[in-house]
Amino acid sequence: MPTDASPPLRTRIRPYLLIAPTLVGAAYLLLYPVARNLVISVQHFRMAELIRGGAPFVGLDNYTELLTDPKFWTVTARTLAWTALNTLLITGLGTLVALMLVRLGRRMRLAVMSALVLVWATPVIAATTVFQWLFQSRFGVVNWALDQLGLHGYHDYAWFAHSGATFTVLVLLVVWQSVPFAALTLYGGLTTIPAELYESARIDGAGAWQTFRLVTVPVLRPLFALVTSLEVIWTFKCFAQIWVVSQGGPNGATTTLPVYAFQIAQNLHKYDLGSAASTLTVLILLAALVTTLRRMHRQEGAEA
């Protein structure tokens, strides 16, 4: 006869016991550093406290010192501009590459996708080193090519000695590394759109741009939101490329919030201010993400 008796307690808790080691490991690797960073950000924690311990609590003094420092706001504005520019270029170029992949033949599509995967799989430091070689002042390929094209002002041009040039090289590097992910993700979404929708748009006389705006964008809006959010996170917290190429220079022109926090903590040994800066970085990133997602949600609601 069927019974409504619940399974034994041992059976009910077995799934939780199986995943418990993973949860404990994740909590230790993810939550503990965040909690420790928050604690240090409200302490006076410099080199002396690192050696002997006993860091006193100072409340929100570290946050006050940062928020009243004009340099912090300059770096914040630069970080937001850096994030917006890179995200716009990555999403735009990724969309164009995805649309191109849909229209390519099978063999050419396979070749392009293989190249994208290789770019995406290239280690960050290796790719950064290659870009340093490309833009090297005396023996770099870029200067040689520009000189051959008649732009002789770029002969022996020191890209990494000028703030605007260094910023441009870093943008090119980050965009080059990030476009493959956006392109392949959006291409996967494009393959799920029914052909009947495009056929109906063509019958109604819609052009290529109208078809993209009225068919592709509404269907893939959640995917565009996902790609945009991930790229905002990726570019906002970008550190390795900037540090290897310029360490935030020249004259602080490429110093973003992650680099700024590292400079304070490691170069000045002000670990308390560095922790406060990293905490504010996370909060600003969350605010930027929430703003972006809410704007997309409002646009979706307006078009519904």
pLDDT tens string 67-92: 999 999 999 999 999 999 999 999 99
Q: Is residue 46 part of a domain?
A: no
Q: Is residue 255 part of a domain?
A: yes
Q: What is the mean pLDDT of residues 141-146?
A: 91
Q: In the numeric block, which tokens belong to residue 209?
A: 């741009």
DSSP 269-289: --HHHHHHHHHHHHHHHHHHH
Q: In the numeric block, which tokens belong to residue 39?
A: 């604690």
The CATH number of whichever domain residue 78 belongs to comes to 1.10.3720.10
Instruction: Please give the residue range of the domain that contains residue 79.
Output: 71-301
Q: Is residue 231 part of a domain?
A: yes
The residue assigned the tokens 């969350």 is 286
Largest CA distance in the chain: 91
Q: Is residue 125 part of a domain?
A: yes
Q: Is residue 1 part of a domain?
A: no
Q: Is residue 211 part of a domain?
A: yes
- Angle formed by the axes of helices 106-121 and 163-190, nearest 10°: 130
pLDDT tens string 259-300: 999 999 888 888 999 999 999 998 888 887 787 777 766 666
For residues 277 and 284, give the distance between their C-alpha atoms in angstroms, rounded to a whole number: 10
Please give the tally of structural domains in the chain. 1
Which pLDDT does position 1 carry in this prediction?
Answer: 47
Is 43 strand, coil or helix?
strand
pLDDT confidence bin for 185, thresholds 50/70/90: very high
* Contact of 77 with 294, CB cutoff 8 Å: no
Residue 72 identity (one-letter amino acid): F
For residues 259 and 81, give the distance between their C-alpha atoms in angstroms, rounded to a whole number: 15
Q: Is residue 158 part of a domain?
A: yes
Containing 103, the helix (H) or strand (E) segment is: helix 70-103
Residue 288 neighbours by CB distance under 10 Å: 19
Q: Point out the least confidently predicted range of 159-168, 233-242, 254-263, 287-296.
A: 287-296
Backbone phi, then psi, for 57, in 5-degree steps? -80, 140
Q: Is residue 206 part of a domain?
A: yes
Q: In the numeric block, which tokens belong to residue 164?
A: 């605007």
DSSP 204-238: TT--HHHHIIIIIHHHHHHHHHHHHHHHHHHHHT-
Q: How far apart are the first and last CA of the chain?
A: 52
Which pLDDT does position 288 carry in this prediction?
Answer: 79
For residues 8 and 103, give the distance between their C-alpha atoms in angstroms, rounded to a whole number: 58
For residues 237 and 233, give the distance between their C-alpha atoms in angstroms, rounded to a whole number: 6
